[in-house]
Amino acid sequence: MSGELSLNINIKEPRWDQGTFMGRAKHFFMVTDPRTVLLSSETLEEARVIVENYRAGTVKPGLTEDELWRAKYIYDSAFHPDTGEKMFVIGRMSAQVPMNMSITGCMLTFYRTTPAVVFWQWVNQSFNAVVNYTNRSGDAPITVNQLGAAYVSATTGAVVTALGLKSLATRLPPIVSRFVPFAAVAAANCINIPFMRQRELKYGIPVMDENGNRLGESANAAKQAIVQVVVSRIGMAVPAMAIPPVIMNSLEKRAFMKRFPILNAPVQVSLVGLCLVFATPLCCALFPQKSSMSVSGLETDLQERIRQLSPDTTTVYFNKGL
């Protein structure tokens, strides 16, 4: 018994204190680790079994605390926190860096012609639609019609914004044109995420007390969650879409880049990837994953229900999504 792992480790919560930015940053550096995308189905299944068995009170013989936490983060990287379903691989947060560095690098490289702008904004919003659906909050399904409406709205918004800004930028210094993709992405995030999660805005997301007991569904909580996710996503794009254009604008004037223009795209993608490795987890950490709201901020009928069910509860908690 002395060598058996204790059952008192709370793996329902992250390993580090989520009340501090540093604690959340450490957590998200693990969750967004791109290496987990390469793990086999067998490894993911093994992690799922370890985590679910531990939660049920069964410890795998010889399991250490570090191995348990490793399994928990592998599990969190691949399975939805509310539904428990295995997430589509490119929609996982661990796929954000490799996917976004490729797409963003191409958006920043091929921005000079209208067909290129339209194509890469379409590719980016197709990817964003997958990510937003995969990382939605709550366990309510979204219909095909809702999914289609969100996708078309976000893609149209991004393309219109990009083309409009591209047209304006022709009368401004060349460096300004390089920031057109960022403005389009920021605008699209403000459209895509609320549309992709419109069911949450209509019907609400599950809210719980501090012990995890479900108290009801709140649309007000959904609004707060979606605003936080939009801010995080735009923040995530800032370094990757603002720093490389400045560096590339300088590099392209150098003789070696003029001699080898084929290096433009690889260098741009590498710069974006370097920015995203840090920006993705740090911006995910801006707000706690387990967000909170005062009971007084909820809908009136839900406030009344909570007062009856749990009169001592003053704050509710919910998964904000990613």
Q: How do residues 230-281 score in pLDDT, each as one tens digit? A: 899 888 888 877 788 788 778 877 877 778 777 777 888 888 888 888 888 8
- Neighbour-count burial of 214, counting CB atoms closer than 10 A to its CB (0-12 exposed, 13-18 middle, 19+ buried): exposed
Over pLDDT 90: what percentage of the chain? 7
pLDDT at 2: 43
pLDDT at 25: 92
**pLDDT less than 50: residues of the chain:** 1-2
Report which of 188, 185, 184 is spatially closest to residue 166, judged by C-alpha positions. Answer: 184
> Hey, is 34 helix, strand or coil?
helix
Contact call for residues 166 and 191 (beta carbons, < 8 A): no
- Neighbour-count burial of 159, counting CB atoms closer than 10 A to its CB (0-12 exposed, 13-18 middle, 19+ buried): buried
Report which of 105, 234, 109, 125 is spatially closest to residue 177, judged by C-alpha positions. Answer: 109
Report which of 19, 15, 25, 22 is spatially closest to residue 279, judged by C-alpha positions. Answer: 25
